[in-house]
Amino acid sequence: MGDLNCLPTSKEYKLIESLGFTSSYKACKSTEPEITFPTGLTGPHMDLDPPGTFDYIWVKGNHVTPIKSYTFGEA
């Protein structure tokens, strides 16, 4: 999991999927969230890049099945 700085349409995202990994959010909701950045949190040195979906939790294998996944502030 992490801040991968790649969009769901990127070649990096597609490579991770091709290796057998599945995004937990996508597994639970059939799509990625509209944005994962910014989160709504603020700080003195906050990144001001444009919003987008850059953060993921990946799962792989038959022994891991996500049952719930959400972004910060989402119910």
Structure token pair of residue 29: 């909701």
Give the amino acid at 57: I
**∠ at Cα 15 (12, 21), nearest 5°?**
115
Model-level pTM? 0.82
24-39 pLDDT, tens digit per residue, is 999 999 999 988 887 7
DSSP 8-state assignment for residue 56: E
Helical (H) or strand (E) element with 16 = helix 11-18
43-53 pLDDT, tens digit per residue, is 788 777 788 89
User: What pLDDT shows up at residue 42?
Assistant: 77
| Domain ranges for the chain | 1-38+49-75
